[in-house]
């Protein structure tokens, strides 16, 4: 259910690259998409492994299925920790194949994006850094599923690093980081007990709620900056205002109480904000190209 987080930024970057270059290299697009989705899948599986080893998922009785608390494959006896580790590692290795083909086709510049994505995928949950446990999970996810795929996919199409593509990636980075942030709320007690000090653990529910709102407001402001720069028409701002309203509703819902129904609504709303917001940007980039 979370794979739009890896697919949509590649589509946005490709659309921007098409706007700059006037054509699409479909082979490069397909290879980039396969590599990013493979890294995403591998990262999810490895996160399950390290959450199992730390005890974070085992002790999580407040999870909101199927969004938080891991896949439960290990806890339900579907796969062992070792099997999951091999599966996650295998997915990352498989993702290297399309990445390697891109290196052959486009040169060593691809390595900067590919190795960056792989490093973030592994270090998000793996020691010694365990970035998510240090409160850096949102920044990691924002970079891995916002900046890197948008800027990288645009570069593959246009052949140049584009400051405007970087600006376009910022709202996507904020929206995808908020998916992780809102998902951490029901997991906070189990994460705290396991020593996994996510942002939700560090900030508490009210602080997390405030950061969630601030991130969505910043995303709307960046879309406004994109419009002011003449990169998108004024009408593109309508969507960001609607999405900001949806975010305010989600935040108010969470503040109203920690029930699973409220949290489920907030999580689903956040997933919708990311998907609809990114699709909105893709559509406007496409129609103005």
Spatial distance between the Cα atoms of 53 and 147, rounded to a whole number of angstroms: 30
Residue 184, token pair as written in the block: 């951490």
Residue 97, token pair as written in the block: 């194949």
Kindly report the pTM of this predicted structure.
Answer: 0.96
Contact indicator for 13, 151 with CB cutoff of 8 Å: yes
- Give me the numbers of helices (H) and strands (E) for the chain, helices first please: 10, 0
Burial of 257 from C-beta contacts in 10 A (0-12 / 13-18 / 19+): exposed
Spatial distance between the Cα atoms of 16 and 283, rounded to a whole number of angstroms: 11
List of residues 6+ apart from 23 with CB closer than 8 A: 157
Contact indicator for 20, 197 with CB cutoff of 8 Å: no
Spatial distance between the Cα atoms of 121 and 141, rounded to a whole number of angstroms: 8
Q: Which pLDDT tens digit goes with each residue over 198-239?
A: 999 999 988 999 999 999 999 999 999 999 999 999 999 999
Q: Which pLDDT tens digit goes with each residue over 67-99?
A: 998 888 999 899 999 999 999 999 999 999 999
Nearest to 115 by CA among 184, 189, 39, 214: 39
List of residues 6+ apart from 127 with CB closer than 8 A: 50
pLDDT band at 258 (very low <50, low <70, confident <90, very high): low
């Amino acid at each position: 259910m979370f794979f739009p987080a890896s697919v949509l930024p590649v589509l946005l970057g490709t659309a921007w690259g098409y706007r700059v270059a006037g054509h699409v290299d479909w082979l490069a697009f397909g290879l980039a998409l396969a590599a990013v989705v493979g890294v995403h899948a591998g990262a999810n599986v490895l996160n399950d492994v390290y959450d199992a080893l730390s005890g974070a998922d085992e002790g999580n009785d407040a999870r909101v299925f199927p969004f938080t608390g891991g896949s439960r494959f290990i806890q339900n006896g579907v796969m062992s920790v070792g099997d999951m580790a091999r599966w996650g590692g295998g997915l990352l290795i498989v993702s290297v194949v399309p990445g390697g083909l891109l290196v052959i086709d486009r040169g060593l510049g691809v390595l900067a994006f590919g190795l960056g994505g792989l490093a973030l995928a592994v270090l998000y949950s793996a020691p010694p850094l365990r970035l998510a446990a240090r409160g850096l999970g949102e920044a990691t996810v924002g970079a891995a599923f916002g900046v890197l795929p948008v800027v990288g996919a645009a570069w593959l199409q246009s052949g140049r690093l584009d400051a405007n593509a970087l600006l376009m990636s910022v709202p996507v980075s904020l929206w995808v980081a908020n998916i992780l942030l809102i998902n951490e709320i029901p997991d906070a007690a189990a994460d705290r007990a396991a020593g996994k000090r996510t942002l939700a653990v560090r900030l508490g529910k009210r602080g997390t709620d405030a950061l969630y709102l601030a991130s969505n407001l910043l995303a709307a402001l960046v879309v406004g900056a994109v419009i002011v720069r003449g990169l998108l028409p004024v009408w593109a701002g309508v969507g960001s205002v609607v999405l900001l309203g949806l975010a305010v509703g989600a935040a108010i819902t969470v503040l109203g109480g920690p029930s699973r129904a409220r949290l489920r609504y907030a999580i689903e709303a956040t997933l919708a904000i990311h998907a609809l917001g990114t699709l909105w940007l893709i559509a406007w980039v496409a129609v103005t190209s």
